[in-house]
Amino acid sequence: MNRRRFLGLLGGAGCVGYGAPASLWAQTRVPGISPLEIRLGTSLGLTGPEGPQVYDYLRGFVTQLDETSSQGGVHERRLTLFALDHGAQPQRAVRNVVSLLNENEVFSLVALGSTDALLRVLPLLSRNRFHAAPITPDPLLFGAWGGAQALYEPSLAQRIFCFRPSFELEMDVLVGQLIAEGRERPSLCYSLDATGRAIQDAVTSAATRHGCPVVAEAAYAPGESVDKAWQHLRSEPTDTVICALHTRQVAEWVELCQNRSWPLPVALPSTVGGELLLADLAQKGLESLDQEILQSRVVPTLDEGDPEALALRELTRRRDANLSEHWRPAEHVFEHPLTAAGLEGFLTAKALIRALELAGPEPDAELFTAAWSRTRELEPEAMSPPEDPLEGTSSDPFTESSSGPTEAQRRPVFHPRSVILARAVAGGKWRRLSTSDTPDPDPSPAERSTST
């Protein structure tokens, strides 16, 4: 399969890249919606530097689409995903998006990433430049593999629906936790790409707000060794390093710390693949670390008792999400991955499906926007995962009781834009910090302006 071609994923009915007949499309005025099908499209860096995580994210996303379609779809419409790979070339994402909207006429873009690609595509999302004769005022984007602040501007709130929190909010929680633990001299190592720079801005802003400016920074150029950046920060008076690098480079950083007897605590953003990192370190013989690793995450930790993780594990066991081995990164270390990225994709798809259900049997952009707003207005407490993963598992909102679904069961189990903190523990696992250990986040600038 040519990576430039579509990987059409038709839930419940195998792999296809064609969809409903043209005669059926002529019966509807909404692009991407036919009597039998809802078309969705994405462009991801499947063969880029974040390939293993992106693969897991897509796999989790497709697993839920596939399951929903096999159970009858959304208002009796199956869900078809057209996925394109832009590799390590974010400029290709622009061409991919134009192709998805023009040639495949998808109802919405979904799960788009990475940050580099999102920022390239963003100017196109605010105006209709895809059709010679306008079909829709502007394309929609639901879910994004990135957290640059530009995605959260109030002016885009009717077109871009972000499931994950912004880097601003995420880093505010992470830096707040470091200060609560008495670590007031953070340093930063970041990758010289759009993700790294966006996190750099977020860390700098958060540290300033909390009154503990970053004491030193080191930039890493992709493709090089992290040794130079490591040497620079080793000479600085820092008590924690925030590593905004790709997963493999974080593993190199930790290995340098272990081999050179500088086990300084490391704090990681959610863009680092936590499970992939610990697996990589285990392959290097570093299962037992004398170094603290803290990570901000945007989904619950993968505890055996978490209902959503269990649901994803079972669905992944029963179906392989129909992803071709051609798209599986060669360096992927899991045969049947269950990672935070996979769970994020899975939960993002659930939120998308819930919004489509609420939009009704004749959805359009306006109804979909209103439906997503309804899901966001539900009480955050009812949507957050239980503090003890073994508690509250009977309230899975997507499992109906014998008497039908209750109002609580109609709510997502995990509130969008939440931030969770976790530590690496023995056995290659992550353990979530309890709520009492976690500081209350300050809202991001965009969220502050929206709420005032």
Q: 151 in a domain, yes or no?
A: yes
- What percent of the chain clears pLDDT 70, i.e. is strictly above it? 73
Q: Cα 316 to chain center, whole Å?
A: 18
**pLDDT at 127 (0 to 100):** 60
CB atoms under 10 Å from CB of 287, counted, come to: 12
Same domain, 181 and 272: yes
Q: Using an 8 Å Cβ cutoff, are 419 and 169 in contact?
A: yes
- Give the three-class secondary structure for 401: strand
- In a domain? residue 381: no
Q: Domain span at residue 308?
A: 7-165+302-376
Are 144 and 276 found together in one domain? Answer: no
Q: Over 90: is that where the pLDDT of 277 sits? A: yes
99 and 180 housed in the same domain: no
Looking at the fold, whether 309 and 247 belong to one and the same domain comes out as: no
Interatomic CA distance for residues 94 and 88, integer angstroms:
13
Structural domain contains residue 403: no
* Same domain as 147, residue 23: yes
- Which of 105, 123, 125, 122 minimizes the C-alpha distance to 114? 122
Inside any domain, residue 390: no
Q: Is residue 397 part of a domain?
A: no
Residues 75 and 141 in one domain: yes
Question: Do residues 67 and 172 both lie within one domain?
Answer: no
Do the Cβ atoms of 196 and 245 come closer than 8 Å?
Answer: yes
Reported as half-sphere exposure (CB side, CA atoms, 13 A), residue 186 has a value of 33
Task: Please tell me what DSSP assigns to residue 88.
Answer: T
The pLDDT assigned to 248 comes to: 92
Residue 145: pLDDT band with limits 50, 70, 90: confident
Whether residue 259 has pLDDT greater than 70: yes
Q: At what angle do helices 307-318 and 340-358 cross, to 10 degrees?
A: 90
Residues 142 and 280 in one domain: no
Where is average pLDDT lowest: 3-7, 144-148, 357-361, 399-403?
A: 399-403
**Cα→Cα distances 172→116, 134, 169, 211, 418, Å:** 22, 41, 5, 12, 12
Q: Are 407 and 401 in contact (CB under 8 A)?
A: no
Strands 108-113 and 160-161, by their bridges, are unpaired
Q: Are residues 275 and 203 in the same domain?
A: yes
Domain membership flag for residue 52: yes
Residues 161 and 289 in one domain: no
Task: Report the amino acid identity of residue 392.
Answer: G
Give residue-wise pLDDT tens across range 326-376. 455 555 544 445 789 999 999 999 999 999 999 999 999 899 989 888 776
pLDDT for the residue 317:
74
Last residue of a domain, one of 343, 376, 409: 376
| Higher pLDDT among residues 304 and 16, named by residue | 304
Among 106, 111, 108, CA closest to 163? 111
* Secondary structure of residue 163 in the 3-state scheme: coil
User: What whole-number distance in Å separates Cα of residue 335 and Cα of residue 97?
Assistant: 31
CA–centroid distance for 269 within its chain: 12
Q: What is the DSSP string of 228-239?
A: HHHHHHHTS--S
The residues, any chain, with a CB within 8 Å of residue 224's CB and separated by 6 or more, are: none
In 3D space, the residue among 344, 281, 324, 276 whose CA is nearest the CA of residue 50 turns out to be 276
Q: Which of 376, 396, 431 is the last residue of a domain?
A: 376
Any idea which residue has 């912004």 for tokens? 166
Q: Is the pLDDT of residue 446 over 50?
A: no
The one-character DSSP state at 404 is B
Tell me, yes or no, whether 159 and 218 share the same domain.
no
User: In the chain, how many domains are there?
Assistant: 2
Instruction: Please name the amino acid found at residue 279.
Output: A
pLDDT at residue 445 greater than cutoff 70: no
| CA-derived radius of gyration, the chain | 21
Nearest to 97 by CA among 76, 118, 67, 71: 118
Q: What angle, rounded to 10 degrees, do the helices at 51-70 and 307-318 form?
A: 80
Flag whether 401 is in a domain: no
Q: pLDDT at position 416, please? A: 57
The per-residue DSSP string of 307-374 comes to HHHHHHHHHHHH--TT--GGGS-TT---SS---HHHHHHHHHHHHHHHHHHHT-SS--HHHHHHHHHH
Residue 68 has pLDDT above 70, yes or no: yes
Q: Report the pLDDT value the prediction gives residue 133, as an integer from 0 to 100.
A: 41
Q: Does residue 326 belong to any structural domain of this protein?
A: yes
Burial (CB < 10 A; 0-12, 13-18, 19+), residue 402, is exposed
Is residue 157 domain-shared with residue 18, that is, in the same domain? yes
Q: Is the pLDDT of residue 304 over 80?
A: no
Is 60 exceeded by the pLDDT of residue 5? no
- Provide the 10 A C-beta neighbour count for residue 324: 11
CATH number of the domain at 29, please.
Answer: 3.40.50.2300
Q: What angle do CA 444, 245, 180 make, to 5 degrees?
A: 50
pLDDT, the chain, mean:
78
